[in-house]
Amino acid sequence: MNDTNHIASAFDRDLDSIQALIMKMGGLVETAISDASKALELRDTDMAQIVRKNDKLIDALEEEVATEVARVIAMRSPTAGDLRTVLSVLKISGNLERVGDYAKNLAKRTSVLSEMQPVNGTGASIRRMAKLVSVMLKDALDAYIQRDADLAADVRARDTEVDQMYNALFREFLTHMMEDPRNITACMHLHFIAKNIERMGDHVTSISEQVIYLVTGEIPDEDRDKADRTSYVAAPKES
């Protein structure tokens, strides 16, 4: 990577402004995750409504990034580190947009869940999981700004914890549903929420991989430990 300026200073301004858009998007997405999980725990439908509304801003930023990237590719024919910058920016904005969508979905389900009997202890667990993903996202974006491949690799490794939390929640929901069928509707919604947060973790992992690609020119190998084992879980047999 290269810290010196381009001879054409407008090129530097273009690249800087695209990256500023990504940072703005990242900030909005971090807020969306934390507000959505807080709204769920506190059964705060107003806050959930705000999260749903703000997702439009994130979507608009993604489109703006795509337009700007197309323009830079057409006008400046970026190569080497510049090329990797615009390519990674495009992918990162796509990932951020998806994370924003999941946060919006969390907020939607909050509106339904707040009408129902709460399921013991699950709100706090989900909020812990969301917090973990939110910190990962913050670190991934810091790694991006600082071009820090080591921090990005660390974030990527942390996704295992998210997977494990999801496994634990999956079993917890099963137990609640088997104990009392009246929990089923709420637990189905909560399960989708947990799954969506787990997916957010995957998108943050993908952002970290883009940072590694940006810095080193290589996409990391797919040798990461996957801890999502729920595909193999069956409900315990009734005795």
Partner 1 sequence: MFDDTKSTERVMADDDIKITAKGVDVFYDKTHAIKNVDVDIQNRAVTAFIGPSGCGKSTFLRCLNRMNDTIDICRVTGDIHLDGNDIYAKDVDPVQLRARVGMVFQKPNPFPKSIYDNVAYGPKIHGLAKNKAELDEIVEKSLTRAAIWNEVKDRLDAPGTSLSGGQQQRLCIGRAIATAPEVLLMDEPCSALDPIATAQVEELIDELRQDFTVVIVTHSMQQAARVSQKTAFFHLGDLVEYGETDKIFTNPVDPRTESYITGRIG
Q: From the CB of residue 131, how many other CB atoms can be counted at a distance below 10 Å?
A: 15
The three-state secondary structure class of 44 is coil
Minimum Å gap between C-beta 210 and partner 1 is 14
What single string gives the DSSP state of each residue in 122-152? Answer: HHHHHHHHHHHHHHHHHHHHHHHHHT-HHHH
Burial of 205 (0-12, 13-18, 19+ CB in 10 A): buried
Closest by CA to 37, choosing from 116, 158, 124, 161, is 124
Minimum Å gap between C-beta 70 and partner 1 is 18
Residue owning tokens 């990391």: 220
Minimum Å gap between C-beta 5 and partner 1 is 6
Q: Which two tokens stand for residue 176?
A: 């609640």
Which is closer to partner 1, CB of 8 or CB of 145? 8
Minimum Å gap between C-beta 2 and partner 1 is 5
Q: Measured between alpha carbons, how far is residue 36 from residues 59, 106, 146, 227 in Å?
A: 17, 6, 28, 25
Which is closer to partner 1, CB of 10 or CB of 23? 10
Minimum Å gap between C-beta 215 and partner 1 is 11
Which is closer to partner 1, CB of 11 or CB of 192? 11
Which is closer to partner 1, CB of 77 or CB of 239? 77
Which is closer to partner 1, CB of 26 or CB of 78? 78
Residues near partner 1, by CB under 8 A? 1-2, 4-8, 11, 77-84, 217-218
